[in-house]
Structure formats: structure tokens, C-alpha cells
Amino acid sequence: MANKEIIKPNISKNGEVKAIFTLFEEIRSTDISDGQKTHIRELKKRGEEVQAFEYRKGALREKKETQLREGLKGLEKTLKEEGIPDLCVKTAVEVVETWSKNKLLGEITDEERKKELEKTIKKYGPQAFEWLIREKTGSGKTRIREIIDMMLPSADEKEKEFTELEIKLIGKEWLSPQEAIKKEYTFIWLGNIMGFYSDVKRKKEIERIFHQYGSDVFDWFAKEKTNGRKTRAREVIDRMLSPEEEALREFAELETKLLVREWLSFEEAIEAEYTIVLLGEKLEHFYFSPEEREEKLTSIYDQYPSEITEKFVREKARNIMNRIMPSTRKR
């Protein structure tokens, strides 16, 4: 067996995390016995290459399965010794077993893993969910993130965050609407950045969750600003897109708001629509001649009461134009 004292520096010293890490490392480093290796060599000498491959595969799988069973018993014992509630112990053991069968043994697919994790979390309820998904260990990470980091050591940060959010959202009915919408919105954006969702799919999914959580939660998330003077939606977007893409970040935020334009005031909506046309042209998302741009902006003005349009043109339009397209001369 692998040396149980070898712990990577970024693994917390909590007994529970250490036990999980040791279990994963031992399964990863498992090899067949010398006697089994001798048998494989004999099969190869007789030209029985396929049989040798299948024998090694079966022997290795059997040994890893045995190690997993023994490791899970050890993990359960460690958790109980640390005074972890029984429901949480059962949850942790089942989650580790499911991940191991998927990533270390290859016995179940990614989709099967997701279904098994959902079944486990729903079965043991909010107390176990809180302990596994939200409560943090001594390393400052949630327990599920500790497991993900150990199970996917070569994955990048976005993939790990996407996987963690995917699991957290299994219990979204136990989250506040504000916490849930932020997690879902981030999950959708990560799915888009990682290529799982097209831009069209991203927008449809965001519109869906806005309607799901309602206008009050939308206002909190996409209109109200935090101490950092940004909306919570913009804070997520800023993490998804690079600092060099400031115009694209602003475009994405306005695009988000306009998915539910009916929840914006006339003043908010006309400003968002006007700005997104100019940003879209600057980013070459839209291709307008100067005449076409003016026609587009005029069509926006025509949607709103004349007093709203006049006030916007008088007080804001030129400033926005100068900010986004400083070289544009007033006609």
C-alpha cells in the first residue's frame, strides 16, 4: 500500500480529508501482485496477448474494488471517531464511493455518477447537504470541493468550479433564492465558457432562471449594486471574461438585463438598448453603416413614450456615444 504519511501540501490536515486523500492515492497506485505479473508474462510467451490483457484488467479491477471496500470502511471509522453525525458519515462514504467508481475504477459513466450523487444528496437531506456542500473544512474549502480537487488533480479551476456547482445545485431547494440564482447563473456561464452551452443556450437558460426566481430576486442580482459598485451579475461576468474585454463584459451585462426587459423601467430599458447597440457595433457583433445605426437607434426611441426618449437624448445619449465611440462626430 502507498505510504499514508505522504500528503500533498494543499490537502488540509483534517482527519476526514486526509483519509479520503489516502484512499484515492492508494487506489491510483494499486498494482497487481508479482505472481499475477508472472502469469501474464507466461500468457504473452504463448502468444495469448488478448488473454493477458483481459487477465491483467480483471485482476487490477478486483484489487482496486477490494481496496475501495476496505478504504471506505476506514473512512467511515475516521469520520465517526471525529464525531461527525451519522447522516453526514453515510453521505460522505457514498459520495466518495460514487466518485471512485467513476474516476478511479471506470465502472460508471459521468452521467451515472451525477445521478448517483443526486440520489445520495436527496436521500440524506439538508443536514448532510449543509455539511458536505456548504460547511468548510480547515483548508477553507467545502468538503465536496476537497473531494473534487483530489479526484480531478489535473483539471483547471473552471472545470472544478463547474463540477462543484453542479453538485451544489442538486440541493438548490435548500438554498435561499439569492444564493441559488447566483450559483445557477455562474454554472450557466461556466458551461458556456467551457463549450457545453452555445451562446443561444446560455441566454435561454439565464432567461429561464430569471423567470423561475422572479423579479424581486432579479432586481437583487442584476440591478442592485454591491459595495464594489457592481451588480452581482456583473461580478460573475467579470470572473468569466478577461479584464482586457471590458466592452464585452458590459455588453454581456446589458444582454443579461434585456432578457427580461419587461422588468426594467423605461429609463433603464432605453439606456440598456441604446448602449448595447453601440457596444455591439464596436465589438463587431453587429455590422452597421452610420445610417443603419441611426435607423436602429431611432427604432429604439420609437418604442418608448416621447417624454422618456426626449429626456434620454437630452441627458444621456451623447455621453454614452462619446464614451463608447469617442471618434464619432455628432451629426
What tens digit of pLDDT does each residue of 219-243 get? 999 999 998 899 999 999 999 999 8
Average pLDDT over residues 259-266: 96
Phi, psi of 285 (to 5 degrees): -75, -35
* Model confidence, pTM: 0.82
Distance (Å, whole) CA 118 – CA 111: 11
Extended beta strands in 42-194, E state: none
List, in order, residues 6 or more apart from 183 with CB less than 8 Å away. 165, 168, 169, 172, 175
Average pLDDT score over the chain:
87
> Could you read off the pLDDT of 24-57 as tens digits, one per residue?
777 777 777 788 888 888 878 888 888 888 877 7
Q: 137 or 10, which is more confident?
A: 137
Q: Please check the confidence at residue 4 and state whether its pLDDT lies above 70.
A: no
Highest mean pLDDT among 108-112, 151-155, 214-218, 321-325: 214-218
User: Which pLDDT score, from 0 to 100, does residue 35 have?
Assistant: 85
Distance (Å, whole) CA 65 – CA 87: 24
Question: Coil, strand, or helix at residue 153?
Answer: coil
Query: Does 266 have pLDDT greater than 90?
Result: yes
Looking at per-residue pLDDT, the higher value among 169 and 23 belongs to 169
Query: 233: which residues sit within 8 A by CB, 6+ positions away?
Result: 185, 221, 222, 253, 256, 257
Distance of CA 32 to the CA centre of its chain: 37
Between 27 and 10, the more confident residue is: 27
Long-range contacts, 129-135 (Cβ 8 Å, 24+):
129/91, 129/170, 129/171, 129/174, 130/174, 131/84, 131/85, 131/88, 131/91, 132/88, 132/91, 132/92, 132/95, 133/167, 133/168, 133/171, 134/168
Residue 6 binned pLDDT confidence (cut-offs 50, 70, 90)? very low
Q: Give percent of the chain above pLDDT 70.
A: 93
pLDDT of residue 15: 64
Whether 95 and 132 have beta carbons less than 8 Å apart is answered as yes
Question: Is residue 23 within 8 Å of residue 74, measured between CB atoms?
Answer: yes
For the ranges 84-88, 129-133, 186-190, 288-292, the maximum mean pLDDT occurs at 186-190
DSSP SS3 for 136: strand
Reduced to 3 states, what is the DSSP secondary structure of residue 225?
strand
Of 14, 144, 25, 131, the closest CA to residue 81 belongs to 14
Report pLDDT for 5: 36
pLDDT of residue 10: 41
